[in-house]
Amino acid sequence: MTQTTKPQPGADLILSLPAPVLPPWNFAHIFGNHHPLEIDAGSGKGRFLLARAKKYPNTNFLGIERQNNRIKKVARKAARVHCHNVRLVKADISFILQNLIRDNSIRTLYIFYPDPWPKRRHHKRRLIQTAFLDLVCQKLQPGGKVHFATDHTDYAAVAKTCMENHDTLTPCDPFMPSPEEKTDFELIFEAHGLYANRFSVQKPFD
Ligand SMILES: C[S@@+](CC[C@H](N)C(=O)[O-])C[C@H]1O[C@@H](n2cnc3c(N)ncnc32)[C@H](O)[C@@H]1O
């Protein structure tokens, strides 16, 4: 299902600011190594991010989260357990991808339990839309993957269609977390009998 938005009267009178020109982050410098980069988009309270980082010490993990209190808590937990392969940024996911991540550089992007924006008038705020997937595709390395999970059936159906119909990304096996990798929200939803809908897509190797 393609989402179309009606142009608002006067929209053409509003000038857009030019995109800020920022040098992309140099992760080899940030982490001090050339390990692959994986991103947890909307990392929340960090249960998945920290479990994954512990399990794969030779992978670099970036958690992007717009709530400052969550970022600080996860950073404290990471420091306590000497998790050297995690970095966090308090920001909007699209802004970071657009401005600070090099093209063809992400091995895996995890999008677990993103805000479902259930009201119809808020659907345009949902993360999974064709324009966002175009941006993600540009940033994924060849063969790179996006793993998505949600408990929300309506969002799941729309996201599945959008992911499956993408021009370049192709469906691949969904990510199945081990018990310690289940996210904080996944545990909460499961306790209420709500289970994950999982979809994954992959960028072709060439
Ligand atoms: C429902 S929670 C899920 C958190 C975590 N992935 C989990 O499953 O436990 C969604 C999280 O994404 C964050 N978030 C939503 N939209 C975001 C955006 N555009 N940029 C960064 N973080 C975002 C919210 O602040 C929230 O912490």
Mean residue pLDDT across the chain: 94
Q: How far apart are CA 96 and CA 136, in angstroms?
A: 11
Tell how far the Cα of 135 is from the centroid of ligand 1, in angstroms.
18
Q: Is 63 in the pocket of ligand 1 (CB under 6 A)?
A: no
* Mean pLDDT (whole number) for 154-164: 97
* Mean pLDDT (whole number) for 188-194: 93
Q: Is 67 in the pocket of ligand 1 (CB under 6 A)?
A: yes
Helix 184-191 with 47-55: angle, nearest 10 deg: 120
pLDDT at 4: 60
pLDDT at 79: 96
Summarize pLDDT for 26-58 with one digit per residue, the tens: 999 999 999 999 999 999 999 999 999 999 999
pLDDT level of residue 1 (50, 70, 90 thresholds): very low
The continuous run of DSSP H or E covering 131 comes out as helix 130-139
pLDDT above 90 covers a percentage of the chain that reads 89
Which residues are marked as active site? Answer: 115
Tell how far the Cα of 115 is from the centroid of ligand 1, in angstroms.
6
CA-proximal residue: ligand 1, atom 23 (nearest): 42
Q: Is 92 in the pocket of ligand 1 (CB under 6 A)?
A: yes
Q: Which atom of ligand 1 is nearest to the CA of 188?
A: 9
CB 81 within 8 A of CB 47: no
pLDDT at 11: 86
Domain ranges of the chain: 32-192
Q: How far apart are CA 101 and CA 107, in angstroms?
A: 12
pLDDT at 17: 82
Tell how far the Cα of 107 is from the centroid of ligand 1, in angstroms.
20
Reported CATH class of domain 32-192? alpha beta
pLDDT level of residue 22 (50, 70, 90 thresholds): confident
Closest CA to 88 of 139, 52, 56, 49: 49
Q: Which atom of ligand 1 is nearest to the CA of 67?
A: 25
Q: Is 64 in the pocket of ligand 1 (CB under 6 A)?
A: yes
pLDDT at 111: 98
Q: How far apart are CA 94 and CA 107, in angstroms?
A: 17
